[in-house]
Structure 1
Amino acid sequence: MSIYNIEDFNAVADGQTVNTVHIQAAVDAAYQAGGGTVRVPTGQFVTGTIHLKENVCIELAHGSTILGSTNIADYPQVDLPEYKSQKATGPQCALFYAEKADNIALTGTGTIDGRGDSFPTQGTDLEMRPRNIQFVSCNRVKVSGLTLRNSGMWMQHYNNCEDVLIENLNVYNHANANNDMIDIDSCRRVVVNNITGDTDDDGITIKSTGPAPCKDVAITNCVVHAHCNAIKIGTETTAHFENITLSNITISRSRNEKVHFGLENGISGISLEMVDGGVIDGITMDNINMDGVEVPIFIRIGARGRPYYTGIPRPGIGQIKRVSLSNIMIRNAGITGSSITGQPGFPIEDIYMSNIRFFTQGGVTEMPERHVDDMPLEYPEGTMFGTLPAAGMYIKHAKDIYMNGITVSADADDVRPAFYVESVDTLRINELNLKRVAQAVMECEACNSNKSVHEI
């Protein structure tokens, strides 16, 4: 494949000249030749939207920087993609954009800096602020080796893509609201490896904003600092999530004290949220180490039922089942507590938790309200219930919950039990270790007829 140096197409590395037409000309030349590599040499190159095309790789040399233009006019609104989703209902723009382009890549050791603080948040303008990377309905995608900084909105959004490799990235995203680290949306066959990220909003986010499933995803060896949710499946959950594995993830507070969304220490470590009618089935998370988050684990079925596109019927209540969480170390958790909460008639099913160690702040001196409202229509967030009546985990509307080798230890004496259960059918806990909490399991008095089973 031929090399197309953007300086040969009159791009200027002065950090001021807007080089959109010159960089796009290099991409177009590579595409018209049947494919090639567009090279960004050392220096600072300012640009607006670049449309990546089939069989083209953009390679950023060591010491090179792509600077996003600070003029929104340099990000013309793209046509709405053929794939219909909740994130493609109105105007949208990106620094690097591709639709239905196969065999594309962004690689190298350079930097892409979106300078997203140039686009102040105004109401519900989510799609009017540029992402750094947005690929829709693309196959054989590779993003590797780069430093990604300061997007106007989400840092990188892969929507309805297949055969995606994302590896060896360093991400820092604290320029604006909605500054997620990575959003994998309705994609199939995705590998994410060796990502270090610090982000204002969510970290590793898996969504389905449209009708296509998100399945066959493997994510490993990542470090996540986030003000919101470090690992999240949701919030948009139109379609199914299947065969997804996350392993070897380290989670801790952001290095940036300024918070657009969330909490300084982060809202949650792990959130699984099914609120728009889909199904979460077959999720495995192993070897997760988290420090300082307010809510370590949040598993939630809601009934928001948001249609993914205009004219689509409102979806019903979805499902969460067959989830395995193992080898999770939780230190310095906040006082809120973790939770597993379904809805009446729609229990969360078949959750297996092994070798989970909750080390919490504790210190709650008065028992919180024991009956927690179901709040089916509310936005799902780990802190939505306030302080829960359990130092470890509150469980409601669930069945077949199995736990083995669980530790709940509070730094200060806590009047709450380790677990509080309500409307739970079959809860089994083996090898439970407690410190400075009131008791092991407390069951809602109104639930005696629900055939809950506790084996400790």
Structure 2
Amino acid sequence: MIRHDARRRRFVGAVGAGLVGGLVAPLSAQAACSSANAWAGRLRRDLDAMAARLTRTLKPWKVPARVFQPEAFGLDRSLATAAIQGAVDACAQAGGGTVRLAQGDYVSGTIVLRSGVMLEVSAGARLIASTNLQHYPEHVARRPTVQDSNMGMNQSLIFAEGCERIGISGKGLIDGRGTHANFPGEQTIGATPGRPFLIRILDSQHVVVRDIHMQDSPCWMQNYLNCEDLLIDGIHVENQSNHNNDGVDIDGCRRVIVRNCWINAEDDALCFKGASQRPTEDVLIENSQFYSSCNAIKFGTDSQGDLRNVLVRHVKIGGPSAEMRSIKRRKADGGVSWETVDGGTVERIVVHDAHITRAESPLFLRLGDRGRVRPEQARPAPGRLRHIVFDRIRGDDNGMRGSFFTGIPEHCIEHVLLRDIDLTMAPATGPAIDQAQIPEAPASYPDPHMFSTVMPAYGLWVRHIRHLDLQRVRFASSGPDSRPMLLAGIDTEALCGM
């Protein structure tokens, strides 16, 4: 075990190839490994069982055979909003069915989905967003959330609230035409006025989004907030046209599957949040590719609600390749980033069999104390970040920053296992920041670039973390680098079974 003694200012512990900090007096690594493997083994079994249960039970809801088309409701292709909405309303009133956009282009403003309606954009058809903001009336959520008070986003192309059995499907395309020329605005961590989302679904159950292609939202592509039984399967998302171009944002949802998806996003590709102040629980992400100029897979930054019981497996993630569209850098800021800074608990997460490439920081954990909630609410205490597993993670062509995990004084990250890690990093092109100079910055916006472009270790730097277990961990540098592979800062307790 490697632990920091505040009186002696040095580490003591088992031999850990590359772990720097004054190693002396090996302890029994075998007993500590057995303890670490026990909780991680139980967690993996639990999440495998959860995944099997979700796979067995979370199926697309049965759509009634009725079909409604905008052509029967006075379609005007120059602005099809009224005809599409007429078809949606008639479909819902009849007891549900499919609203089919069969062929050609349908230019539209906001469409409000109703319970029992599957909106289908067929192969050869396109749902095209109007570029006139007046065609996007505001839909203010009935239930206040942190997203409303801090982001103020109430416009979208497709909107639903309080629905059951709704969906979007088809082999066609939804095009947001969200270029900066059509929808100007600045990069922001707050409000995004004048830039609608493409899809915004709130407080709904049995939501299915399958097969559809989406591109070029003015802001986030999809936001699912406080939904239950959410199935996202086989979608293709290209969102590299504007600022804040997230791929998928899932906030406070229970029983979720994301599978067989391909996403390339200017901002976070697959992002979980807690702004709904409801827990996100029982999530399976598999057989997908997530590429981003920011974070490929992430929880945060809004972390008021909890995230737990998440299994990520068989994924390829990182930055966009030279063949993909990108309006910024080719390197992702972070590969997998789990963050809690607003009081939420993040726990019981396994990432297994992931290939990470073109990421400045392939792995990032942050426990902070920003405490952002709704204005009328009391500031919460710091949350918890614990029981996190990274297992069989590999990849190359990553950046020079290095991965890092950091909590804050008196609030440590707890119980983290890295096993079978093989990641190649770029060598530093400039001096690394001295770890003694890295601020605690508890209230700062959490992102892997928050401290320095060159962190103290080319592989992994850790601080304020308890029960960190490293098994068969290898970080390689593709060129000469004077930094250590692994470096532990203050308040660190780790086992290195390298």
Q: Report the AA paired with residue 104 of structure 2.
A: G
Deviation track 1:2-36 (CA, whole Å, cap 9, x = no partner) reads: 110111112244xxx11111100000001111112
1:293 is displaced (CA, Å) by 1.1
Contact 1:193/1:220 (8 A) holds in 2: yes
Deviation track 1:57-113 (CA, whole Å, cap 9, x = no partner) reads: 1111111100000100000011x2222211123451110000001100111111110
When residues 195 and 22 of structure 1 are mapped into structure 2, their CA distance, relative to the original with a 3 A threshold, is same
Contact 2:303/2:343 (8 A) holds in 1: yes
The separation in 2 between residues aligned to 1:190 and 1:412, in whole angstroms, is 41
The separation in 2 between residues aligned to 1:374 and 1:293, in whole angstroms, is 23
1:365 is displaced (CA, Å) by 7.0
The separation in 2 between residues aligned to 1:252 and 1:365, in whole angstroms, is 23
Q: Determine the structure 1 residue equivalent to 2:269.
A: 203
1:120 aligns with 2:184: yes
Q: Determine the structure 1 residue equivalent to 2:144.
A: 84
1:313 aligns with 2:378: yes
Q: Report the AA paired with residue 109 of structure 1.
A: K
1:245 aligns with 2:311: yes
TM-score with structure 1 length normalisation? 0.90
When residues 91 and 396 of structure 1 are mapped into structure 2, their CA distance, relative to the original with a 3 A threshold, is closer
2:423 counterpart (358, 371, 374) = 358
Contact 2:307/2:347 (8 A) holds in 1: yes
2:123 counterpart (62, 76, 84) = 62
Deviation track 1:234-289 (CA, whole Å, cap 9, x = no partner) reads: 11000111101111111243222422xxx431111011111101100101111110
1:109 counterpart (171, 178, 181) = 171
Q: Secondary structure at the match of 1:24?
A: helix
Give matches, 1:255-294, under 5 Å.
255-259=324-328, 263-294=329-360
1:409 aligns with 2:470: no
The separation in 1 between residues aligned to 2:217 and 2:98, in whole angstroms, is 24
Q: Determine the structure 2 residue equivalent to 1:4.
A: 68
* Structure 1 residue runs without a partner (length 5+): 432-456
Contact 2:468/2:493 (8 A) holds in 1: yes
1:355 is displaced (CA, Å) by 0.5
When residues 362 and 323 of structure 1 are mapped into structure 2, their CA distance, relative to the original with a 3 A threshold, is same
Deviation track 1:378-402 (CA, whole Å, cap 9, x = no partner) reads: 1111121112111111100010000
Contact 1:174/1:199 (8 A) holds in 2: yes
Q: Report the AA paired with residue 449 of structure 2.
A: T
* Structure 2 residue runs without a partner (length 5+): 1-63
Q: Determine the structure 2 residue equivalent to 1:442.
A: none
When residues 128 and 293 of structure 1 are mapped into structure 2, their CA distance, relative to the original with a 3 A threshold, is same
When residues 366 and 106 of structure 1 are mapped into structure 2, their CA distance, relative to the original with a 3 A threshold, is closer
Q: More displaced, 110-119 or 359-368? A: 359-368
1:28 aligns with 2:93: no
Q: Determine the structure 2 residue equivalent to 1:347.
A: 412
1:367 is displaced (CA, Å) by 5.4
Contact 1:364/1:416 (8 A) holds in 2: no
When residues 51 and 257 of structure 1 are mapped into structure 2, their CA distance, relative to the original with a 3 A threshold, is closer
Residues matched between the structures, number: 423
Q: Report the AA paired with residue 234 of structure 2.
A: N
Contact 1:366/1:415 (8 A) holds in 2: no
TM-score with structure 2 length normalisation? 0.83
Deviation track 1:304-327 (CA, whole Å, cap 9, x = no partner) reads: 1101x2201111211100001101
1:400 aligns with 2:460: no
1:426 is displaced (CA, Å) by 2.6
The separation in 2 between residues aligned to 1:368 and 1:253, in whole angstroms, is 24
Q: Report the AA paired with residue 66 of structure 1.
A: L
Contact 2:185/2:193 (8 A) holds in 1: no
1:99 counterpart (150, 161, 164) = 161
Q: Secondary structure at the match of 1:23?
A: helix
The separation in 1 between residues aligned to 2:249 and 2:129, in whole angstroms, is 20
Contact 1:363/1:410 (8 A) holds in 2: no
Q: Report the AA paired with residue 407 of structure 1.
A: R
Contact 2:462/2:492 (8 A) holds in 1: no
Q: What's the % identity of the aligned pairs?
A: 32
The separation in 2 between residues aligned to 1:130 and 1:208, in whole angstroms, is 20
Aligned-residue CA RMSD in angstroms? 1.4
Give matches, 1:29-44, under 5 Å.
29-44=90-105
Q: With CA pairs under 8 Å and 6+ residues apart, which has the higher RCO, 1 or 2? A: 2
Q: Secondary structure at the match of 1:29?
A: helix
Which structure dedicates a bigger proportion of its chain to strand?
1
The separation in 2 between residues aligned to 1:355 and 1:346, in whole angstroms, is 27
The separation in 1 between residues aligned to 2:442 and 2:477, in whole angstroms, is 30
Which structure dedicates a bigger proportion of its chain to helix?
2
1:127 is displaced (CA, Å) by 5.1
Deviation track 1:392-440 (CA, whole Å, cap 9, x = no partner) reads: 1110001000010111211112111111112244311113xxxxxxxxx
Q: Determine the structure 2 residue equivalent to 1:164.
A: 230
Q: Determine the structure 2 residue equivalent to 1:419.
A: 486
When residues 184 and 367 of structure 1 are mapped into structure 2, their CA distance, relative to the original with a 3 A threshold, is closer
When residues 20 and 419 of structure 1 are mapped into structure 2, their CA distance, relative to the original with a 3 A threshold, is same
Q: Secondary structure at the match of 1:383?
A: coil
The separation in 2 between residues aligned to 1:391 and 1:316, in whole angstroms, is 33
The separation in 1 between residues aligned to 2:200 and 2:431, in whole angstroms, is 48
